[in-house]
């Protein structure tokens, strides 16, 4: 009986262990050996309602594309670092922080509250289309797009130093 209970307890712990494991213990940065086409999607600016696209944003300069949500602690945690790097590189790199919040009112509330001091551009788009196009099975996710080609991809939050290194790889 004790052996059966122990086996069941061990199986339960192993089954649920991934849910309690740290999710950002090591940055996952990859630079593609061969650039691949970046899926184009329409984006709406959360502050002024203007419409653009990923292709348009990556035409003239490299694009740092970040997918985030207001309910995601690593996403919200890296926003000050992204904003800091935006201040450093915004003249040479376009930035797009794309919210996958549903409802989008949550992203607006974040920008009125905790994110009010951030100056980087925030967008939204068709959540399902973006999720499918960019395989958003986890957030935050960041992409570097140059000339319509994905040249870098990162899953998980980044520090200011990691963001600088990630962006420098495209310059």
Residue-wise pLDDT for 28-85, tens only, equals 444 555 779 999 999 999 999 999 999 999 999 999 999 999 999 999 999 999 999 9
Tell whether 20 is covered by a domain. no
Tell whether 136 is covered by a domain. yes
Q: What is the CATH number of the domain that holds 106?
A: 3.40.30.10
pLDDT band at 2 (very low <50, low <70, confident <90, very high): very low
Tell whether 8 is covered by a domain. no
Higher-pLDDT residue of 23 and 79 is: 79
The structural domain count of the chain equals 1
pTM: 0.81
Tell whether 24 is covered by a domain. no
Closest CA relative to residue 145, chosen from 70, 73, 53? 53
Region of poorest pLDDT, from 8-12, 90-94, 135-139, 166-170: 8-12
Dihedral angle of Cα 157, 51, 106, 122, to the nearest 10 degrees: 30
Cα(132)–Cα(1) distance, integer angstroms: 48
Tell whether 139 is covered by a domain. yes
Tell whether 11 is covered by a domain. no
Tell whether 6 is covered by a domain. no
Q: Which range of residues forms the domain containing residue 101?
A: 30-168
């Amino acid at each position: 009986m004790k052996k059966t209970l122990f086996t069941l307890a061990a199986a339960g712990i192993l089954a649920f262990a991934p849910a309690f494991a740290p999710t950002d213990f090591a940055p996952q940065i990859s630079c593609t050996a061969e650039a691949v086409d970046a899926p184009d999607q329409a984006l709406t600016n959360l502050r002024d309602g203007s419409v653009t696209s990923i292709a348009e944003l990556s035409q003239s300069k490299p694009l740092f594309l970040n997918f985030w949500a207001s309910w995601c602690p690593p996403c919200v945690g890296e926003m000050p670092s992204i904003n800091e790097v935006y201040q450093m590189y915004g003249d040479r790199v376009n930035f797009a922080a794309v919210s996958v919040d549903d409802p989008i009112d949550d992203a607006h509330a974040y920008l009125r509250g905790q994110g009010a001091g951030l100056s980087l551009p925030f967008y939204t788009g068709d959540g399902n289309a973006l999720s499918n196009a960019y395989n958003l099975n986890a957030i935050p996710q960041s992409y570097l797009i140059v000339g319509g080609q994905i040249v870098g991809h990162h899953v998980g939050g980044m520090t200011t130093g990691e963001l600088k290194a990630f962006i420098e790889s495209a310059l």
